[in-house]
Amino acid sequence: MAELNHDRSRQLFDEASELMPGGVSSPVRAFISVGDHPFFVAGGQGPFITDVDGNEYIDWVQSWGALLLGHAHPAVVDAVTRAAARGTSFGTPAELEVELARLVIEMVPNVDRVRFVSSGTEAGMTALRLARAATGRDKIVKFAGCYHGHSDALLAQAGSGVLTLGIPGSPGVTEGTAQDTIVVPYNDLVAVKAALDAWPDQVAAIVVEPVAANMGLVVPHDGYLEGLRSLADEFGALLVFDEVITGFRLGPGGAQERFGVRADLVMLGKILGGGLPVAAVAGPAELMDQLAPVGSVYQAGTLSGNPLAMAAGVASLRAIKEDATLYHRIQERARSLVRGLVDVADIAEVPMVATAIGGLAGFFFAEDEVVDLDGANASDADMYAHFFRGMLDRGIYLPPSRYEALFVSATHEEEHVERTVKAAHDVLTA
Ligand code: HOZ
């Protein structure tokens, strides 16, 4: 079949590459691991994204999960437009912050206080600082393949772009910082216990993506999150759930609600901002009130609580709350998508394993179920790249890396699943 015309995107990418490192503002967007050039976006509507050459794609990335309601949701657009007309930034408290904080506290379990920041990275930095201050300990336990933003302490064996580009440990992270980060495999409680035994009274926090979605999609074993909770309690460490992806996606209360496991601190982002830069650290008052200005743990930001971002967040969470069937629909859609992909892979005799949870879907070209980073690494990278390019040519935009998840929005219908599965059939049987 004829390839789509990407002339304008190519031209822009050439220009961008002279002006910005790799031509992008964030590494995975460069499409390097799938052997392609990125398309440049012109706009999006619901489940669709359109590029500057006029090609339209069914978008299963949805701004890396930020858009639960799909592109350009009318309520979000309206709220942001009205907020912008009143002024774009004040650096002073505003009513919408109170409203968004109230919505978060209402929807997310075990939260009395919310500190808004502008990115998941900031949320991770703040959660760690708070955990270290609250426990008087330095070390943290994280999991290979989990990604919590690009702060120094959390980059070790991180997922997402760090994996995609095969960067083992980023230059610029000091040895001292790296020494305080203990990395163990995901889904392995014995390894966590061993780490806590090896550094008694030194671990401030166990930081985890309750469903790992930055090494591809890897779900926790039954009892895994409960096990982390017990180990944290036994060893006096805090349990930090990075719910930047799972928050408001697995259900209104995220992973805590879905799995019935309490976290001491929660990192939120993506859906929280409805596509604008909002993230947050949230938790019980006794911890959160250690942040300045009540406590002495310092954290600040000129654009924190930005009115446009707050307006988008409030409009999104309200729309989510009002849509009684949303979580059922996205879950059914995610399941039907992975069922369809696996069926097609079977027909084509291509090994594939796939999983779906809430509005998250993921697949690996692999024989065996993937439970950790080793499994994800063992999946077929060349096959993923080939599949990605074939799907893009057929108007389906998948994550440009096998280490990312697929995101279902409230606007994806069964017909979009069917078109995706048909395209997958054509690519895999060609
Ligand atoms: N952290 C995102 C993937 N999990 C990548 C964001 C981006 O490159 O835009």
CA 132, CA 130: separation in Å to the nearest integer?
A: 5
Band the pLDDT of 168: cuts 50, 70, 90.
low
> How many Å apart are CA 272 and CA 116, to the nearest integer?
10
Residues 270, 327, 372, 403: which is the catalytic one?
Answer: 270
Pocket test for ligand 1, best of 20, 25, 28 (most atoms within 8 A of CB): 28
Q: What is the pLDDT of residue 332?
A: 98
* 74-322 and 7-60+325-428 share a CATH fold: no
- Is the pLDDT at 1 greater than 90? The verdict is no
Whether the pLDDT of residue 163 is over 90: the answer is no
pLDDT tens-place string over residues 366-423:
999 999 999 999 999 999 999 999 999 999 999 999 999 999 999 999 999 999 999 9
Catalytic residue status for 224:
no
CA-closest candidate to residue 340, choices 401, 402, 408: 408
pLDDT at position 160: 81
Position 237 scores a pLDDT of 98
The pLDDT of residue 173 is: 83
The CATH number, out of the four listed (3.60.21.10, 3.40.1410.10, 3.40.640.10, 1.20.272.10), of the domain defined by the range 74-322: 3.40.640.10
64 lines ligand 1 (CB under 6 A): yes
CB of 31 within 6 A of ligand 1: the answer is no
Closest CA to 212 of 357, 335, 111: 357
pLDDT beyond 80 at 166 = no
Q: Whose CA is nearest to atom 9 of ligand 1?
A: 26
The alpha carbon of 173 and the centre of ligand 1 are apart by a number of angstroms equal to 20
Question: Which phi and psi angles does 69 have, rounded to 5°?
Answer: -95, 5
- C-beta 119 within 6 A of ligand 1: no
Percentage of the chain exceeding pLDDT 90: 92
The ligand 1 atom nearest the CA atom of 399: 3
- Bond from prior residue into 293 cis (ω within 30 degrees of 0): yes
The pLDDT of residue 165: 78
Task: For residue 142, report the distance from its CA to the centre of ligand 1, in Å.
Answer: 19
pTM: 0.97
Choose among 401, 407, 406: nearest CA to 163: 401
Q: What is the pLDDT of residues 220-272, one digit of tens each?
A: 999 999 999 999 999 999 999 999 999 999 999 999 999 999 999 999 999 99
Query: At 65, is the pLDDT very low, low, confident or very high (cuts 50, 70, 90)?
Result: very high
**Ligand 1 atom with minimal separation from the 63 CA:** 9
pLDDT for 34: 95
Sequence spans of domains, the chain: 7-60+325-428, 74-322
Task: State residue 276's pLDDT score.
Answer: 98
Q: How confident is the model at residue 29 (pLDDT cuts 50, 70, 90)?
A: very high
Q: Which amino acid is at 86?
A: R
C-alpha of residue 256 to centroid of ligand 1, in Å? 23
Q: How far apart are CA 364 and CA 402, in angstroms?
A: 7
Catalytic, 57? Answer no
Task: Please give the distance, rounded to the nearest whole angstrom, from the Cα atom of residue 382 to the centre of ligand 1.
Answer: 21
Classified by CATH at the fold level, domain 7-60+325-428 comes out as: Aspartate Aminotransferase, domain 1 (3.90.1150)
pLDDT average, residue stretch 98-112:
98
Rounded distance from Cα 278 to ligand 1 centre (Å): 14
Q: What is the reported pLDDT for 399?
A: 98
Condensed to tens digits (0 to 9), the pLDDT of residues 276-307 reads 999 999 999 999 999 999 999 999 999 999 99
- Residue 28 CB less than 6 A away from ligand 1: yes
- Ligand 1 and 209: CB distance under 6 A: no
Q: Give the mean pLDDT of 335-358.
A: 98
Residue of 147, 224, 327, 384 marked catalytic: 147
The string of pLDDT tens digits covering residues 119-128 is: 999 999 999 9
| Residue 152 pLDDT grade (very low, low, confident, very high; cuts 50, 70, 90) | confident
pLDDT for 199-219, tens place per residue?
999 999 999 999 999 999 999
Kindly provide the residue ranges of all beta strands, DSSP E only, lying in 16-118, ordered along the sequence. 41-45, 48-51, 56-59, 113-117
In tens, the pLDDT along 83-92 reads: 999 999 999 9
Catalytic annotation present for 242: yes
- Residue 156's pLDDT is 80
- The tokens describing 287, both together, are 């911890």
| Residue nearest to ligand 1 atom 7, measured at CA | 26
Look at ligand 1, atom 2, and give the residue with the nearest C-alpha. 64
Q: Which of 31, 160, 243, 249 to mutate to test the pocket of ligand 1 (most atoms within 8 A of CB)?
A: 160
